[in-house]
Structure 1
């Protein structure tokens, strides 16, 4: 409908008032970047602790930077290929030059990718410096707990400001430069952000969990030494992994969630509201920037607070209320009270309705955004229930440790499966509630879903800060334990912050999954709209009938597409978890070798070879991320060109449904296992060194790739597949019907895509379960290794 509307209206340009709103949005986005710079300076001005702590932190910084730079070199190849393909793919009829729109789409694909990479890299760089400062602050007896909490959260706030600032600035620039053609160009911007985030999430997740699993299995289980004992050769790699996976990977992931949701809102907003629809989502996102600034600065730990989570929850809910109030106010200021005043006398034709709608524009917008905000709060509460140490699910897993690791694993799986049902129903309720706001207008209903996603992300600045808080606290505890320069009180502070961080990471994963579903639902609507325009361009007489036939799931061809969509989610998850298993096997062998060949490690007369483990994780992460990445991009191409546009629509439906359940299951079961281990380590059921402790370590080891590799990667996976489908839809339709029909070319493209995916999967499956430490090959590291350190 967006293309049809643009054609009927003779183009669309921003009026003076609307242009002013967009420029104000861009300026406020730059203000957020200014706050990021200010907070960075404040964090770096705090104390750096002892020389020994600084030496350990420097090794972590070096390893993280070497990994990330190498990953960017690998991903640059994919970026170049994607730019070329984007330029070759056709676009719908435009209001300007088709070539210029293609150039803009390709250029802003690069912008989205660069922004995603920059946020991940900048977040990691600051986190590897803040972790040292958090550990140093925890050593202070007066106010150390509050100061450590503030440094960790404000470091996360920097990443939050970068996310909202760059996301809003990029979208505003597209609207200013391309006006009516902005939705087409925005597809490139969102695709660039999502593609880079998926690769960073998978690669960083493989690195961090291979090191973590290897360190736990040999150090804690076999050798009986503490988690971050410097005698364990995998400890530096483990701390490096927290940064490249949980900081760089998740920061890029949340940025693409923000960017893609905003892109979906702008595409559908233009279809529903015309010029106003291109501006109002930017206004909502601008409010999100203001809320982020307020939310980060009001997050303060009080001496009376039971834990840091109390302070974080207080700030989050306050931010959500402030967001709802500001959006309601701007809805009354910017939007008109009736549909005829907003869209003119032809509003029923434009929206495809007969009769009246249940709500006027102002209350429609308020209701949609409010659903998103409430959904974020509800997801936070539900995820917290299943992953917090003081709630029954985690305590039940802790009790199950008394009967061994098998019951711990079973308890965690059952809790993950159960929580997935409730979270999926909650997200589905939010989608359906937003859908009902549109009455009989599908266009309006889909815009409501996109606005709900935008509303959910008005609190994204605080959400990103919550997420980054987790790995910083984890690293701080590791640095303190490895150095030995921390007393009992400081150790308790860091243990508390680490446990809070485990919960906040699980919560942000749940919220990110919710945004993925909302954005995917909205993009699915954009896909059907693209099909409508493509069928019209191809000369199909009964476009409405063709669309209904294409979306008929009773058609066996479409049912096959749906099954394939669900299956790809399972295959993607299996590849990611198996990659961790293989790489962790190599780490285990290397750490065992060092304990065997360097007998002085245990009595501290010899230093472990930390750099070798970092090399193994770096090499394997780069090698293993290719197959899942190719699967995500090429599977929709194979289905679309091989089975047709209807099967591709069903494929997306299957991927969204299976992806929602799988992502929540993996994230929540992993988070619950992790905190059950913390519960036992704090003294429950025998405490550290007991058989219950060993059982929870096994559970946590199983959960590591669940919650930090496969689960979070499903979030960008869903959006990458939706955006690829959106981009190829015009070519799929053009080669399937009309004068440009070319069955041999269409089938050839599908077969090539299938062949590449099959070859990549076979190559992945043929790799050994555990590589020897002297293995060389394409993935062998040429980077200098971090210097070994002493405790």
Structure 2
């Protein structure tokens, strides 16, 4: 690698024996995490599974979720094959062996992301009935622990496979590892984005349809077995919040490691290839500790108190262990590092630099957890105000929740910006060192990822457990209240993890942005030429910035509109079943649950293609069509807009959801009141906000940054006069034209699908793959 503004060294070669030993230690700790996951699985599956009726319902949910993921993986296989071929054809520093490695580890990253998504779904669909059974047996503490430890399984898999993949690449490829890791991160991010979008469309289409017809029109509870959409709703919790979010957080972990290793090699030399792995190893230890110490006490107000306590304790332990690891491994003087970067103006020594950068990331996770909890938890004023607004109707409820999202996005974005700036200032003006500090902050934030994933998976498991209890009719009284309380806690933990996920996306995207500019410099665009290309006063760069911001809006609009179309089909199907089969409401006839699962499965697969193509082709079109500078500005615009949009959507949706829970708990007239109807409307608006469009922006940012990073050398060759060999030749415009044509075609096809679904469309089984449920 080279520095951004001047010629630098060619990077490190083979790692020394001691550093290779540390890489092996990191891989061994990753295997410990995987072993911990296996041990948790065994203890969870040993728990009781309740009544026959509860097991039947859980089995139906598991069958529907498995059928959906099988179909999704078959569809995504096409994208994986195309991406592998293109990655191999693109040039890479290090020659053919490195190109092959990049392609192979793209597949590894995609497989790891897919496996973690599948494992999250698989464990959640087995734990839900066990959580319900524990509550039914009068064991609320056991129910809470089962739900959280199941999330811990996914957390251990996330940190274990992420660190194992990165360690193997560094061990095998040494100084060429960052280039190979581009493929690993890209594979994880691409699969995560598709799983997040597809799962989000499935889960929210079912949820919106079930709520609008069941709660509002028929006046029945959320998980009443008479509602034909209730099985699909519970399936959706698993394919969206478990499979999708687990894959999302894994790719965040992988991509942050990729960015830190790329910049670490350039800024710290050989030490920079090992330090991020050491920080990630600290995360393994903290994940194990965090899951073990999450226990409810008699004095705890709710399960959230226990979860918060464990999170903050594990974060503190993470900071302390990081200090020990850095003081032991990192030299106290810049002269002892194998780097040619000018560090004369760096205000602190390497040890202080690394410690402060990592601690900034850990502190950011804690701040975002507190801030998001404040804006979405029913115990605090903002969500209480949204709940109170339901007394004057759905319109004021929507306005109140939307304004809360807008306001909270500003404060969250400022906190993330402060963390980025604080880390950046540690470099004292040396750009590579500063960007490495930002990447280390991302690593610090993700030392808590094991607990974060457990918190996220806790939510849908609790939701499913309550659904199974209500559908079976076998859980009543205090046991039912226990599950309701766990569900409310789960809503808050899901909102918190979405806030932390977008913070990791911004840190990773910022670091990858630095990697992009470094890759451009490596192709010969350096010094004044590079500064000129990145000049924001250039109208072409302003255009690039605007396009990047616009892509976030378009991506969000496509995702929300996809939910609207699919939910419309679900609404028509549910209404149709109620009309055709009067015995459903009388409790004498079983609804056709499988039809709604079919609709959601079909629409999710169909609708995820356009947003996915947008993320891949837009950077290619901007890079080859406008050039290196506009592509950098494009990324900056996407990052700035993405953080605000994602937090706004997530927090609005979380507040609406918990405001509904507050009303259902008896506030403002309780269930069946006009306030309740208004709260349900607000919640259905927030569903695609918080569980489809909002969280999908996280992998969107990283996919676009990784695409830009991978194509950067080719963009220089074909667009920069005096540097590139084929600047302004016909190939540039052919590539631009193909990318634009694919993008425009995908959008036009998507827009041809009407958002208003005719009643007959939902009753077309010959157009759907049959999924037998129940």
Same fold (TM > 0.5) = yes
- Aligned pair 1:156/2:151, yes or no? yes
Deviation of the 1:745 alpha carbon: 1.0
1:111 corresponds in structure 2 to: 108
- Aligned pair 1:182/2:171, yes or no? no
Deviation of the 1:3 alpha carbon: 8.1
Q: For 1:696, what is the secondary structure of its paired residue?
A: helix
1:756 corresponds in structure 2 to: 742
Superposed CA deviations along residues 432-485 of structure 1, whole A, max 9, x for unmatched, are: 000011112111100000000000000100000000000000000000000000
Alignment of 1:96-107 (within 5 A): 98-107=95-104
Residue ranges of structure 1 left out of the alignment (5+ in a row) = 537-542
Q: For 1:161, what is the secondary structure of its paired residue?
A: helix
> Residue 295 of structure 1 contacts residue 318 of structure 1 at CA under 8 Å; is this kept in 2?
yes
2:534 corresponds in structure 1 to: 551
1:24 corresponds in structure 2 to: 25
Superposed CA deviations along residues 691-727 of structure 1, whole A, max 9, x for unmatched, are: 1111100000000000000000000000000000001
Deviation of the 1:780 alpha carbon: 3.6
> Superposition RMSD on alpha carbons, in Å?
1.5
1:11, 1:691 → 2: CA distance? 67
> Residue 412 of structure 1 contacts residue 669 of structure 1 at CA under 8 Å; is this kept in 2?
yes
Match of 1:784 among 739, 753, 771: 771
2:688, 2:13 → 1: CA distance? 48
2:20, 2:606 → 1: CA distance? 46
Match of 1:338 among 325, 329, 333: 333
Q: For 1:733, what is the secondary structure of its paired residue?
A: helix
1:718 corresponds in structure 2 to: 701
> Residue 190 of structure 2 contacts residue 699 of structure 2 at CA under 8 Å; is this kept in 1?
yes
Alignment of 1:401-480 (within 5 A): 401-480=390-469
1:90 corresponds in structure 2 to: 91
> Residue 11 of structure 2 contacts residue 266 of structure 2 at CA under 8 Å; is this kept in 1?
no
> Residue 2 of structure 2 contacts residue 9 of structure 2 at CA under 8 Å; is this kept in 1?
no
- Aligned pair 1:584/2:572, yes or no? no
In 2 relative to 1, CA 106–772 (structure 1 residues): closer, same or farther, beyond 3 Å?
A: farther
1:595 corresponds in structure 2 to: 578
Superposed CA deviations along residues 144-202 of structure 1, whole A, max 9, x for unmatched, are: 11000000000000000000000000000000111110000000000000000000000
2:399, 2:256 → 1: CA distance? 36
In 2 relative to 1, CA 473–10 (structure 1 residues): closer, same or farther, beyond 3 Å?
A: closer
Superposed CA deviations along residues 210-231 of structure 1, whole A, max 9, x for unmatched, are: 0000000000000000000000
1:19, 1:150 → 2: CA distance? 39
In 2 relative to 1, CA 218–237 (structure 1 residues): closer, same or farther, beyond 3 Å?
A: same
Superposed CA deviations along residues 575-598 of structure 1, whole A, max 9, x for unmatched, are: 000000000000000000000000
Deviation of the 1:487 alpha carbon: 1.6
> Residue 650 of structure 2 contacts residue 689 of structure 2 at CA under 8 Å; is this kept in 1?
yes
Deviation of the 1:772 alpha carbon: 4.8
2:753 corresponds in structure 1 to: 767
2:346 corresponds in structure 1 to: 357
1:554, 1:478 → 2: CA distance? 56
Alignment of 1:601-750 (within 5 A): 601-736=584-719, 737=721, 738-750=724-736
Deviation of the 1:6 alpha carbon: 11
> Residue 372 of structure 2 contacts residue 496 of structure 2 at CA under 8 Å; is this kept in 1?
yes
1:758, 1:773 → 2: CA distance? 29
Deviation of the 1:775 alpha carbon: 6.5
Deviation of the 1:415 alpha carbon: 0.2
1:302, 1:132 → 2: CA distance? 23
> Which deviates further from its counterpart, 331-340 or 576-585?
331-340
TM-score with structure 1 length normalisation?
0.96
> Residue 32 of structure 1 contacts residue 289 of structure 1 at CA under 8 Å; is this kept in 2?
yes
1:319 corresponds in structure 2 to: 314
Alignment of 1:130-209 (within 5 A): 130-141=127-138, 144-209=139-204
Superposed CA deviations along residues 38-62 of structure 1, whole A, max 9, x for unmatched, are: 1001100000000000000010000
1:581, 1:299 → 2: CA distance? 38
1:705, 1:613 → 2: CA distance? 18
1:386, 1:255 → 2: CA distance? 26
> Residue 265 of structure 2 contacts residue 273 of structure 2 at CA under 8 Å; is this kept in 1?
yes
2:236 corresponds in structure 1 to: 241
Alignment of 1:456-605 (within 5 A): 456-535=445-524, 543-605=526-588
Deviation of the 1:755 alpha carbon: 1.1
1:532, 1:356 → 2: CA distance? 22
1:540 corresponds in structure 2 to: none
> Residue 2 of structure 1 contacts residue 268 of structure 1 at CA under 8 Å; is this kept in 2?
no
2:600, 2:425 → 1: CA distance? 48
TM-score with structure 2 length normalisation?
0.98
In 2 relative to 1, CA 226–775 (structure 1 residues): closer, same or farther, beyond 3 Å?
A: closer
Q: For 2:528, what is the secondary structure of its paired residue?
A: helix
Q: For 1:351, what is the secondary structure of its paired residue?
A: coil
> Residue 265 of structure 1 contacts residue 447 of structure 1 at CA under 8 Å; is this kept in 2?
yes
Superposed CA deviations along residues 353-383 of structure 1, whole A, max 9, x for unmatched, are: 4x34211011100000000000000000000
Deviation of the 1:751 alpha carbon: 1.2
1:16, 1:90 → 2: CA distance? 30
Residue ranges of structure 2 left out of the alignment (5+ in a row) = none
